[in-house]
Amino acid sequence: MPNLAKYVLSFVLGALCVTAYAWFVLKPNMQRSIAEQQKTIAQLTTQHDTCKAKFARATILYERPVNIFGQPIDKRPALRVWAVGADVEPVYVGTGEGFFTHYDPKSQDETVQLPAKKK
């Protein structure tokens, strides 16, 4: 019987050591890892939503012809040069006067006309 008691006591002591190691060492590491992963997921979700919102809108570039002095010709309407399905600030390379607007598909409205950067 003393051998059996020694084996049972060794088993219980080993089980307690493993439980204490798991409780005091593994659990805090696991909780820290879970917190870091949740923080990373929150950051990625924010980045995803920002990117998705950027491509939910459209940018439309308009061009108005100018005279030889560089002044816009008011009689001629502005021409829609291109539209791209992203919320960007275009750089205008043409000879006329360029400006752009953003189109929001939810409200189906274009924003104020903003001057495009000249290259």
Q: Per residue in 17-41, pLDDT tens?
A: 999 998 888 888 889 999 999 999 9
Domain range annotation of the chain: 1-54, 57-118
Give the separation between CA 82 and CA 84, rounded to whole angstroms: 7
Task: Label residue 1 by pLDDT band (50, 70, 90).
Answer: low
- The tokens for 68 are 């030889």
Give the mean model confidence (pLDDT) for residues 44-53.
Answer: 88
Examine the pLDDT at 119 and tell me if it is beyond 80. no
pLDDT, residue 43, reads 95
pLDDT single digits (tens) 72-95: 777 777 777 777 877 777 877 777
Q: Please give the distance of CA 63 from its chain centroid, rounded to a whole number.
A: 31
Over the range 65-96, which residues count as b (16 or more CB within 10 Å of their CB) and which as e? Answer: eeeeeeeeeeeeebeebeeeeeeeebebeeeb
Characterize the bridge pairing of strands 97-104 and 109-110.
antiparallel
What pLDDT, on the 0 to 100 scale, is given for residue 34? 92
What's the pLDDT at 58?
Answer: 84
Distance CA 117, CA 110 (A): 19
42 or 92, which is more confident = 42
What's the pLDDT at 40?
95
Bridge partners of residue 5, in order along the sequence? none
